[in-house]
Amino acid sequence: MKAHIALLPGDGIGPEVTAEAVRCLKAVGARYGHEWRLDEAPVGAIAMDATGMPLPPATLALAKTADAILFGAIGAPRYSDPALKVRPEQGILQLRQELGLFANLRPVVCFEAVLDASPLKPELLRGVDIMVIRELTGGIYFGAKTRTATEASDLCVYTVTEVERIVRLGARLARQRRNRLTSVDKANVLETSRLWRSVVLRVMKDEFPDVVLEHMYVDAAAMHLLRRPSDFDVVITENMFGDILTDEASMLPGSLGLCASASLGSGTRGLYEPIHGSAPDIAGRGIANPYAAILSAALLLRHSLALETEARALEAAVVAALDAGVRTADLKPAGRPASTHEAGAAVLARLR
């Protein structure tokens, strides 16, 4: 197979962890006889330094022509002033809009070898395997905004079409897993949530009657993610609720450095990135955890390139590295922490 992959390493630790994911992708290609065309472009703060824009036209053009995008992280302290009109983070929002990426998939898997790295009790974590699907292009983040000296407002808007496509994606994935779907809303308070719930009920009844459906208010979901996380299978929710719940859920495996993500649209092109951010405080020190970036590369193989065997092999290599005790500093190693490069090398050794 031949595929064109855009590499957008971005800022902070983004280039470091992306480099390890690229090494793994190249190894997968060599092992299974695939040919990757890998083209790199700037995004985020590094792009602003050069062009004044977080998403330069050339970077967007590359993303639009690639089969998939492997993304690192964006953000830098020099652009942290909230008064700035242009910020690095706008680059990822624009990419999602331009590419029509409306669904963010965040797998939450608790790996047996590192259960002790989580703040929760190990008995709560065994068997946890959740797929959270967050709506990406609607809701309060994209609604009309106003601000005066005395008040501010953010409009939350959802359409039937936006909800329908998330429900269908979630239900299809649930059929491939444990056949359970949890829809998270705040229908006792918000009109957008009442619309959300009514659409979920209709689509599930008409198209997916075989999938077990549960509705849950967002506050209850936040509690039950910590109280009984193994009961969840596929979770769908709107943009802001998903943003908050997925960061909470990321603590179940014990580190943001174990959490991958995929942003998908109606076609096969997707954007794949670790959820940990740019972490400028540790950038350049060679201690960042690359596992999430490597697991994001596995999602790229699965969802954009339809290479399930290769995706499973890469995921298995990560598990084997963790089982062998190769832990970066964030995973609370008993001895010397593995460096970013050493962790990547451990995955490569088990992949080959």
> Any idea which residues carry the catalytic annotation?
141, 186, 219, 243, 247
Q: Other CB atoms closer than 10 Å to residue 139's CB: what's the count?
A: 24
Judge whether 270 and 263 are in contact, CB under 8 Å: yes
**Packing angle, helices 14-32 and 340-351, rounded to 10:** 10
Element (H, E) at 147: strand 145-147
For 267-332, what is the HEC assignment?
CCCEEECCCCCCCCCCCCCCCCCCHHHHHHHHHHHHHCCCCHHHHHHHHHHHHHHHHCCCCCHHHC
| Spatial separation of the C-alpha atoms in residues 40 and 25, rounded to whole Å | 14
| Spatial separation of the C-alpha atoms in residues 336 and 327, rounded to whole Å | 9
Q: Which residues contact 57 (CB under 8 A, 6 or more apart)?
A: none
Letter for the amino acid at 238? Answer: E
